A and B are shown apart, each in its own frame.
Chain A
Amino acid sequence: MMYDWLTEFTGSEIIAALIQGWLPLLLFVLPFVLVAVLAERKVSAHMQDRLGPMRVGYHGILQTIADLLKLLQKEDIIASANDKKLFNLAPLLVFAGSYAAFAAIPFSGAFIGSQIELGLIYIVAVTGLVVAGILMAGWASNNKYSLLGAMRAAAQIISYEIPTLLIILTVIMITGTVNLYTLSEMQTGYFWNWMIFGGPEFGLQKFLLIPFMMMGFLVIFISMLAEVNRTPFDIPEAESELVSGFHTEYSGMKFAMFFLAEYANMFAVSAIIAIMFFGGFQSPFGYLGNSLGWEWLVPFEQFFWFTVKGLFFIFVQMWLRWTLPRFRVDQLMAFCWKYMIPFAFVILILVGLITVL
C-alpha cells in the first residue's frame, strides 16, 4: 500500500521506511498536539467561564507555537544527584512508547502504518513501555515526589490493563480479529453497523449485544483514561500532592516530550475506542466520493471521519477533566478491582454466551 508506493517512488526501501516512519509524526501527531494543547486550554477556560489564551494570534491560536519556542529556549536542568543516563533516556522512552502505537492505527483506508494482524494487542503492549519510561523518569529524578508519582503510575497502569484486555477479548470474541484495519472495514456502511450498536450482522444477536457493548465501551473508556493518566485518574502527577509527579524535575524540551507523549497517548486511546466501537474511519452515512464517482475523495473522507471521532473522544476526556475531582489512591485501586474487573468479566462471559448462541 503506502509503503509499496513509497518504495517504488523513492527506489529504496530504507528511504521509504524512514518516510513512512516519520509521516504520522509530522502529518498528524505534531499538528494534533499543537491544536490539542490549545483546545485543552480553551475548553478548560470556557468551562470555568474564562477566555483562556487570547493574545498570540486571533483568539490565541498561535499560543502553543509561542510556548513551544519558549520551551526550546529553556535551560535543560539536570540536577547533580540525578541518574543522568536514565534521566535523559526516560522522556525518549515515554514518547517512543506512545508514538509506536500510531504505527498500527488506520487513519484511513489508504493511510496506515502497518496492517499488524495483532493491532489492538500490539498497541496495549507497546504503550506498556510508557509506564516503564515513567518509572524510569521517577526513579532517575532522585526526588521523592517523582518517585511517588512513578510508583503510583506503575501500580495504576498494571491494574487498569486487566479490564482493558478483558474488553478487548470481548471484542475479539465477536469479531474474530484484532487487526484494526479489518475491524474498521467490518463496520462499514451506516452507523448501525458499528460495534456499539451490536456489530454488522443483523439478527437477534445484534440486539442482545447492544447493552453489553455499551457497558464494555464504558469500562474500556474508563480504564484507558486511567492508563494514560488523565483526570480523574491523574494521581501520578497530582499537582496538589506531588508537585507534578514524575516530571517534576524535567525542564525545557524534555518536559515538552512528556507533554507530547501525553497528548499523543490521548489520541491513541480515542482512536482505539473509535475503532473498536464507533466504526474507525468509516463514515456514519456513506461517502460523498462514492456517490459523486470521485474515488480519490474516499480516503480523505475517511481521514476526516476518523479525526472527527478521535477529536470527539479527546473532547470528552477534557470535559471529564474539568468535571471530576481526582481519585484518592485507595479509591482508585478499589474502583479497578471491585468494579471494573468484575464488570468486565461479566461482560466477557455473557457476550461469550451470546456469540455461541
Chain B
Amino acid sequence: MINYLQKFWGGLFTILIGMRVTFKHMFVPAVTIQYPTVRPELPERERNRLYVNMDDCIGCDQCSRACPVSCIDIETVKSIPGEDLGKTSNGKKKALWVTKFDIDIAKCCYCELCVFPCPTDCIYMTDVYEFSEFERSSFIYDFVTLTKEEIEDKKKNFAEMQAQKEAAKAAAAIKAAEEKAAKKDEPGKKPDNEKDVKLMGVYEIIFYLFAAVTLVSAVFVVTSRNIVRAAFNLLFTFFGVAGIYVLLGADFVAIVQLIVYVGGILILLIFGVMITNKITEVDIKTGTLHTLPAAIGVGLFTGIVGAVVLNTEWRVVDSEMPESTLTTLGHMLITEYVLIFELLGILLLIALIGAASMARK
C-alpha cells in the first residue's frame, strides 16, 4: 500500500519537474534564425561562390592547374607587341589576352585551392551562397571581358557591362529567394436564418426529426447485411429514442440511454470487428423466413398498439419546459424502490465478480 502511494506520488512529482523544465524553456530565447530575412553571420574563413576580377587577371592559368576538379577553363592569346594591356592593381604588367575564363560552379568543390596561387589576388571567394538555376548550363560562369577581334576600348565597355550583368544576376537570385507575403483574407459566414416554417413549432420539428432518425435507422439495422453498419445504425436508433425521451420530459432516462447504449454499441462494434473475419461478406440474416408466424406476430402487435393508441385519451400539454426528473427519481430510488435498487446493485456486482473470475482463468 505504501509502495502504491509512493509510486503515485512519484509519478505526480516527476510530472511537475518536467513541467517546470518545459515552462522555463518558454522564456529561453529561440534559436531559430529567420533565414531569408535574417541571415546568419558567416564564419570568418567561409568558402562560397568564386569571383574573378578580370581587370587584374594576367591569364597565368595557375588557378586552373590548382583546381582538383578542373572546373576552371582558361584560354589565352598573347598580346601584340606595343599593345598596352595595362597594369594590375599590384603593379604587374598584363601580357595575355584572356579569351576564355569559364568557371563551372556546379563542379566546384569550394576548396579554395585556386585562390592561393593567384599572383594578383584576382580570383577570390565572395560571400554569396545562394545561387540556384533552372539549367545546369547556366552554372558555367563566363568571366571573359573581351575577345581578340574587337578593339580594346569597346571590349572594355562591353566587359564592364557584362560584369554589371553578373552582379545584377546575383542580386536577382537573392531577390527570388525571398518569399512573398501571403495575401490576407477573412472568412465570413453568416447563419442562414431565412428558413421560416410557420406550420410547426420548434418542438414539432425536433420531434419529427428524431422520429425520422429513429425509424430510418431502425429499418437499416434490420436490412443491413453488414454487421458493423447495422451496429452504427443501431446507435442512431438509440440516439433518436433518446431525443424522443427528452421531448417527453424524461431527461434522465434519455441521458442514461445515451451513456449506456453508446458504450454498449461501441462494445458491440469492437466485437463485430474483431470476431467476424470478413465483415462485409457475412450474411447475418437467417436463411429460412418464417413468413406466416412473423406476419401473425407483427399483426397482433400492431393491433394491440393501434388499439391502445386509439383508445387512450391523450393529454395535450402546451409546449413548456418540462421539470427535471432527476431529483424526484433520486428520492424515489432511495425511499420507495430502495429494495429493487439494492437488488439491482447486487445483480450487477455478481455479474462483475463473474466476469472477473472468468477473466482470471
Chain A interfacial positions (CB closer than 8 Å to B): 10, 12-15, 17-19, 22, 26, 43, 45-51, 54-57, 62, 65-66, 68-69, 83, 86, 116-118, 121-122, 124-126, 128-129, 131-132, 135-136, 139, 147, 151, 154-155, 158, 161, 178, 218, 319-320, 322-324, 339, 343
Contacts and interface: CB of A to CB of B under 8 A. Distances in A.
B140 interface: no
Interface in B14-32: 15, 18-19, 21-23, 25-32
A319 B181 contact: no
Considering residues A10, A49, A62, which has the most beta carbons from chain B within 10 angstroms of its beta carbon?
A49
Contacts of A86: 229, 232
Nearest to B257: A125
Contact of B26 (A13, A46, A126, A324): A46
A23 B245 CA distance: 26
Q: Classify chain B: how many residues form its interface, as a range.
A: 35 or more
Contacts of B66: none
Given A46-B27, A47-B22, A128-B258, 14 more contacts: A14-B201, A15-B195, A18-B193, A45-B30, A49-B29, A49-B31, A55-B182, A69-B185, A116-B251, A121-B255, A154-B270, A158-B267, A324-B15, A339-B8
B62 interface: no
B150 interface: no
Contacts of B262: 125, 128-129, 131-132
B244 interface: no
Nearest to A165: B259
Interface of B: 8, 12, 15, 18-19, 21-23, 25-32, 34, 179, 181-182, 184-187, 189, 191, 193, 195-198, 201-202, 205, 228-229, 232, 235, 239, 251-252, 255-256, 258-259, 262-263, 265-267, 269-270, 273-274, 324, 326
B251 A12 contact: no
Considering residues B15, B179, B182, which has the most beta carbons from chain A within 10 angstroms of its beta carbon?
B182
Contacts of A322: 22
Main secondary structure of the interface of B (DSSP, over half): helix
A135 B269 contact: yes
Given A18-B195, A122-B255, A151-B270, A136 B232 contact: yes
A121 B262 CA distance: 14
A14 B197 contact: yes
A132 B232 contact: yes
A319 B28 CA distance: 15
Contacts of A158: 263, 266-267
Nearest to A138: B273
B273 A139 contact: yes
B15 A128 contact: no
B237 to A, nearest CB: 13
